[in-house]
Structure 1
Amino acid sequence: MINELLHPPRPKPSPPVFDDPRGQRRRIVTTVGVVVCILCLCVLGVGASVLYADPKAPATGGAAEARNTTDTTARR
């Protein structure tokens, strides 16, 4: 009786939550995580490129600017 009090019997170990001996679930979850991360980075990149405006950007239309200029040296 004293041995049972000092060293009680250990309970049986519970079964693992994820029984994945070959690691297939881990590979799937890792792949999905990497794809989601890449998509988020693409969305952030597109959003940053749309929101960014270069203050020294070149003119987009040369003909429209030539028509609106008042410089007389360009007409020679």
Structure 2
Amino acid sequence: MINELLDPPRPRPCPPVFDDPHGRRRRIVTAFGTLVGALCLCVLAVAAGVLYTDAEAPVPDPAGAVHTTGRR
């Protein structure tokens, strides 16, 4: 009896804010996160491909000078 008088009242347990018994939200968030991660990896791969230059690559000839001769 004395414990009931001295202890402060305890709040009642409330239901969870996001009640998701079948895990639908978790699957949606996981799928969305996977897509965002794959998109980031694709962007990084494209950026690395653009920024990469081979030091020993041959210099390309100009397109107009491929089949021309010195005489006219």
Task: Give me the TM-score of the superposition, normalised by structure 2.
Answer: 0.71
Distance 2:39 2:60 in 1: 31
Distance 1:5 1:57 in 2: 85
Q: Which runs of 5+ in 1 are unaligned?
A: 68-76
Distance 1:28 1:49 in 2: 32
The match for 2:28 is 28
Cα RMSD (Å): 2.2
The match for 1:53 is 53
Distance 2:28 2:41 in 1: 20
Code of the residue aligned with 2:12 in structure 1: it is K
Q: Which runs of 5+ in 2 are unaligned?
A: none
Structure holding more helix per residue: 1
The count of residues paired between Structure 1 and Structure 2 equals 64
Percent of pairs with identical residues: 66
SS of the equivalent of 1:46 reads helix
